[in-house]
Amino acid sequence: RHHTTVGRELRRNSKPTKAWPKGGYSAVRAQERTDLRRRRHRRFKLARQPDLRKLVKSRLAMGCSPEQIAGRLAREDNGFSISPESIYRYIYHRSAQKDYWHRLLPRRKARRGRYGRQGGSPVNFIKLRRPLCERPQEAQDRAQPGHWEADYMLFAKPGSNVLVLHERTSRFTIIDKPQNRKAELTAQRIAYRLRLIPDTLRKTISFDNGTEFAEHHQLHQSL
C-alpha cells in the first residue's frame, strides 16, 4: 500500500478513546471501528437508496437547494421523498464530504453552521398558504393540463437565479430571470408570464414554502 494510505489508516484508528485510553493501533479494533462507521453510514436514507442519491446529487449539481429538491420530489409522482434536513445531514457527513457534496450547495460550505435558522419555518410568514393536499385530483395525477408549479433554480454566482414555471401535464416550461428573488417581484413576473397563456391552461399553480413566494395571493388579483 502507498505510505499515505497506511498513514491515514493509522491516524483514523490509533487515537485514544474512552474504551481505548492508551491509543495505539490494533487491527481488530480498527476493523470494529470500520464496521461501526459503516453501520452509522447506512442510517442515512441517501446511503440506503442509490437511485434517490443519484437524483438528489444531479439536482444539486443543477443548482437546486435541498429545500427545493425536497419540495419538488413531494410534488412529483416518482415514488421518492426526502426531507431537506436528511439531505443536509448526508451532505455534511464525512462519507459525503469525501465526494465534495458540499461544493454542490448554492452556498458552498465545508461545515454547517452550529445553529439552525432563527425565527421558525418560512411557512409561518406566508399568508393564505394552502397545503398541496387541497390541489384538485386532476392536478395530482396530471390528467388535465393547466396546473403549474413555480420554483427557483439557484446558483452559486450572485444574480444567477432563474424562475421556472412548469406545466405538469405537458411539461411545458417557462423560464424567467428576475433581478432578485423578492416576493413582490416574483409574483409580478409570474403574473406577467402566465398572462400570455390562455385562461383554460392556467387553473392552479403550486409553490414550495420559500419566502420568495410569500406574495402568491397577488396572483388572484393579477390573473
- The set of residues, in sequence order, having a beta carbon less than 8 Å from that of 50 and lying 6+ positions away, is none
Q: Which tens digit of pLDDT belongs to each residue from 79-90? A: 888 888 889 888
Q: What is the DSSP string of 20-37?
A: STT----HHHHHHHHHHH
Looking at the structure, do residues 100 and 150 belong to the same domain, yes or no? no
pTM above 0.85, yes or no: no
What is the span of the domain harbouring residue 212? Answer: 143-222
Stretch (H or E) spanning 70: helix 66-75
Give the burial string for 38-65 (b: 16+ CB within 10 Å, else e). eeebeebbbbeeeebbebbbebbeebbb
Looking at the structure, do residues 83 and 34 belong to the same domain, yes or no? yes
Beta bridge partners, 166, equal 149, 173
Ramachandran assignment for 85, one of left (phi > 0), alpha (psi -120 to 50 degrees), beta (any other): alpha
- Describe the chain by its helix, strand, coil percentages, rounded to 5: 45, 10, 45
Say which DSSP state 211 is in: G
The C-alpha cell at 79 is: 415514488
Looking at the structure, do residues 147 and 218 belong to the same domain, yes or no? yes
Stretch (H or E) spanning 148: strand 147-153
Mean pLDDT of the chain: 77
Q: For the ranges 4-13, 118-127, 139-148, 170-179, which has the lowest average pLDDT?
A: 118-127
Q: Which tens digit of pLDDT belongs to each residue from 18-42? A: 666 666 777 777 776 766 665 555 5
| Measured distance between the N- and C-terminal CA atoms of the chain, rounded to whole angstroms | 67
CATH label of the domain that carries residue 157: 3.30.420.10
**Is the separation of the CB atoms in 150 and 206 below 8 Å?**
yes
Q: How confident is the model at residue 97 (pLDDT cuts 50, 70, 90)?
A: low
Looking at the structure, do residues 31 and 102 belong to the same domain, yes or no? yes
Task: Please identify, among 79, 106, 133, the residue that sits at the C-terminal boundary of a domain.
Answer: 106
Looking at the structure, do residues 56 and 101 belong to the same domain, yes or no? yes
Q: According to the model, what pLDDT value does residue 116 have? A: 47
Does any domain span residue 18? no
Looking at the structure, do residues 98 and 151 belong to the same domain, yes or no? no
How many domains does one find in the chain?
2
Does any domain span residue 217? yes
Say which DSSP state 66 is in: H
**Adjacency order of strands within the sheet including 147-153:** 173-176, 162-167, 147-153, 204-206
**Is the separation of the CB atoms in 150 and 207 below 8 Å?**
yes
Query: For 154, how many CA atoms within 13 A lie in the half-sphere containing its CB?
Result: 18
Q: Which tens digit of pLDDT belongs to each residue from 136-192? A: 777 777 888 999 999 888 776 767 789 999 998 998 999 999 998 898 999 999 999
Q: How confident is the model at residue 207 (pLDDT cuts 50, 70, 90)?
A: confident
The C-alpha cell at 114 is: 452550529
Looking at the structure, do residues 94 and 37 belong to the same domain, yes or no? yes
Task: Please identify, among 85, 106, 127, the residue that sits at the C-terminal boundary of a domain.
Answer: 106
